[in-house]
Amino acid sequence: MNCPKCQSDMETVSYTGVPVDRCTSCHGLWFHPEQFKKLKRDDWLAAHIDAGESAPDTLNKMAEVHCPDCGARMKHLTDENQPHILYEQCPQGCGVFFDAGEFKDLAKETFWDKFKSRKILDK
């Protein structure tokens, strides 16, 4: 699988047993719905620590991002309380993509509970 943003290889990393796809170059993270549902808050924080440097704006603000699984153009979503956080979701429900820096912000705030309760990955 290639990164939807920078086209580098994605590697599978494990956060306490939950496999997650991470870009070897920009460290963006791709979650499938079943991975995301298994992920617990501690795993999420571990992933955040591991995510590294923030992605440059050129990647963060990319207008057209395609799903690494099905190739559909992904929707840009944002959080009303943290509008600087942009993430991408496949319209077919394949998964969500976070840039490295976004992930750090998400982990810090109460976004986690909201994100989980919203069931954004349910079709």
Name, in order, each residue with C-beta under 8 angstroms of 110's C-beta and a sequence gap of 6 or more: none
b/e map 11-43, b = 16+ CB within 10 Å = eeeebeebebbbbeebbbbbbbbebbebbeeeb
Helix (H, G, I), strand (E, B) or coil at 13: strand
**Which one among 20, 46, 67, 107 touches Zn ion, defined by CB under 5 A?**
67
Q: Does 51 bind Zn ion (CB under 5 A)?
A: no
Q: Which is nearer to Zn ion, 25 or 54 (CB)?
A: 25
Among 18, 20, 23, 47, the residue binding Zn ion under the rule CB under 5 A is 23
26 in contact with Zn ion (CB under 5 A): yes
Binding-site string for Zn ion from residue 68 to residue 97, where x marks contact by CB under 5 A and - marks none:
-xx-x-----------------x-x-x---
Q: How far apart are CA 114 and CA 71, in angstroms?
A: 28
Q: What is the CA radius of gyration of the chain?
A: 13
Question: Residue 20 interacts with Zn ion (CB under 5 A)?
Answer: no
State the residues that interact with Zn ion by CB under 5 A.
3, 5-6, 8, 23, 25-26, 28, 67, 69-70, 72, 90, 92, 94
